[in-house]
């Protein structure tokens, strides 16, 4: 199941970076192109982003990039857990159902 808080934060961060790098008009053009052309990210990634790289090379490059570019915390990461949430695991937006005795 997708964590809606995390998804919203990622979309917000992505839109911020797109607008920051491309500007508003080119961001809108980019999004329209992705939606209208039935963009297949998996195919694009395989053909362009990681072409000719082994899984080990992709992993090493990702680890190197992550170490060089630590991400700032997302907005939801500072939230306190609701009382019904488990001590460990993802934030939960829906309390667990009560079990019958």
Res. 92: pLDDT tops 80: no
User: Which residues form the domain of 18?
Assistant: 1-38
- Write the pLDDT tens digit of every residue in 8-58: 888 888 889 999 999 999 999 988 888 887 788 788 877 887 788 888 998
d(CA 68, CA 89): 27
Would 32 be classed as within a structural domain?
A: yes
Question: Is residue 61, in this structure, part of any structural domain at all?
Answer: yes
Q: Using CA atoms, how far apart are residues 42 and 47, in angstroms rounded to an integer?
A: 9
Helix ranges (H only) for 1-83 are 4-36, 41-44, 55-68
Place of tokens 């080119």: 26
What's the structural domain count of the chain? Answer: 2
What's the pLDDT score for residue 26?
Answer: 92
The arithmetic mean of pLDDT across residues 53-70, rounded, is 88
Is 20 inside any structural domain?
yes
Q: Are 50 and 58 in contact (CB under 8 A)?
A: yes
């Amino acid at each position: 199941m997708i964590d809606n808080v995390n998804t919203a934060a990622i979309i917000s961060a992505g839109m911020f970076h797109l607008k920051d790098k491309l500007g508003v008009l080119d961001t809108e053009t980019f999004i329209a192109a992705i939606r209208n052309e039935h963009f297949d990210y998996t195919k694009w990634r395989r053909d362009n982003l990681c072409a000719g790289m082994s899984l080990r090379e992709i992993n090493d490059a990702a680890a190197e990039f992550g170490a060089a570019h630590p991400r700032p915390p997302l907005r939801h990461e500072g939230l306190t857990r609701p009382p019904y949430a488990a001590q460990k695991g993802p934030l939960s937006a829906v309390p667990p159902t009560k079990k019958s005795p």
